[in-house]
Amino acid sequence: MESVVIVRYAEIHLKGKNRGYFERLFSVNLERALRGIRHELHRTSGRYLVEKFDEARADEIERKISRVFGVYSCSRGWLVPNDLGSIYEAAKRIAPSFGTFKVETHRADKKYPLTSMEVSAEIGGRLLSENRQLRVDVHEPENRVYIDVRENGTALVFGSFYEGAGGMPVGSSGTGLLMISGGIDSPVAGYMMAKRGLHVELLHFHSYPYTNEGAKEKVVTLSKILSEYSLTARLRTVSVTHIQEEIHKKCAEELNVTLLRRFMFRIAEKIATEIGAKCLVTGESLGQVASQTLEGLTSSGDVVRLPVLRPLIGFDKEEIIARAKKIGTFETSVLPFEDCCTVFLPEHPAIKPSLSFIEEEESKLDVESLVEEALGTVEVIPL
């Protein structure tokens, strides 16, 4: 009898002839999530088993696995030979000492001599015979004993399911570059795109010394939390301080944020191209702030050729906050450190600026030189 963590995948089973590719990538991501923890990972017909691990780290293993995209669920249990005696010994470890229970059996091995109901009845009967404080309730049991008879002469016995992150394996949909701020929205946007299989690289813009080191550390912390899901290895930062000073000095005040966003998109596209990312990702939500009107969103996207993905575009703030709390970024996001978009913030920002007016004001700046200068400030922070 061996202690195992059982991993089941989500959408991968729908991939037909391409399933092998997704399974291999899923396996690589599981190994990355468990890096630094002694274990062995084995695949067995639609299941992955984590074996040979330190029992003291079992909870940590289960937590890390549950955050890997592609995981439908995972369970702590026992791997045993598929004879009834071995299954019963494992079931005794799972069954409660009193109260109601139910045994549920699944047979992947359809050649097994007993049906699923016969296995459940046999194991349930033995448990009842040994412990008179137990009662069977097939409708609303307080506890369940699950038996999964596999095709290779083994069976898995476990007592509960731990919900996984779902989605597709990270990397199966290519690479994108997330423009991550210190706010609530962008980490959630990165999470949602990683869930759809996008490998998410991270880029943060700062305005030091107008923004302080605390603001930068806040983004590093958010990036580390996000990386538990996205498996991202690094964060890139870029200074836009000089760009903001030039905009503030030479352009219409109400366009401060709009013009800054256009520079950010230009810089992000150049970095994305350099690292092989095929799209940009932002946390923008339609109508949430002045720069996120249709006109504002259009003016930003107008300066790049790469597609811009905005997974939160139709979400309201409460929906975004709920997701931030679920993934564990909310408490960090609301720490009171300013980001670069609050520097030189106009009292009355333009809500619906015309593109001709934006371009007229932008012509007062040496755009290419400012972009190149900013690219020279790139810092890579390992996560």
Rounded Cα distance between 374 and 377, Å, is 5
Strand 47-51 and strand 40-44: pairing? Answer: antiparallel
> What pLDDT is recorded for position 348?
80
Give every CB contact of residue 265 below 8 A, 6+ residues apart in sequence. 280, 300, 301, 303, 304, 308
Class of the domain covering 2-163: alpha beta
pLDDT at 360 over 70: yes
Rounded Cα distance between 282 and 381, Å, is 20
pLDDT at 303 over 90: yes
pLDDT at 183 over 90: yes
Rounded Cα distance between 280 and 195, Å, is 16
| Distance linking the first and last C-alpha atoms of the chain | 38
Catalogue the E-assigned strands of the chain. 2-9, 40-44, 47-51, 71-81, 99-107, 134-136, 143-149, 154-158, 162-163, 175-179, 199-206, 234-239, 280-281, 308-309, 379-382
Among 10, 37, 38, smallest CA distance to 26 is for: 10
Q: What angle do CA 288, 226, 209 make, to 5 degrees?
A: 70
pLDDT bucket at 340, cuts 50 / 70 / 90? low
Domains 2-163 and 175-382 share a fold: no
Give every CB contact of residue 96 below 8 A, 6+ residues apart in sequence. 134, 142, 143
77 burial via Cβ count (<10 Å: 0-12, 13-18, 19+): buried
Rounded Cα distance between 136 and 100, Å, is 5
pLDDT bucket at 342, cuts 50 / 70 / 90? low
Among 158, 352, 153, smallest CA distance to 255 is for: 352
Residue pLDDT, tens place only, 158-180: 999 999 999 999 999 999 999 99
> What pLDDT is recorded for position 14?
84
Residue pLDDT, tens place only, 121-136: 999 999 999 999 999 9
> What pLDDT is recorded for position 56?
94
> What pLDDT is recorded for position 17?
85
Domain boundaries, the chain: 2-163, 175-382
Q: What is the mean pLDDT of residues 350-354?
A: 87
> What pLDDT is recorded for position 45?
79
Task: Give the residue, 336 or 81, on which the prediction is more confident.
Answer: 81
pLDDT at 346 over 80: no
Residue pLDDT, tens place only, 54-64: 999 999 999 99
> What pLDDT is recorded for position 73?
96
pLDDT at 345 over 90: no
Find the range with the poorest average confidence among 8-17, 194-203, 323-332, 341-350.
341-350
pLDDT at 190 over 80: yes
Q: What is the mean pLDDT of residues 361-366?
A: 97
Class of the domain covering 175-382: alpha beta
Question: Contact, 280 vs 306, CB < 8 A?
Answer: yes
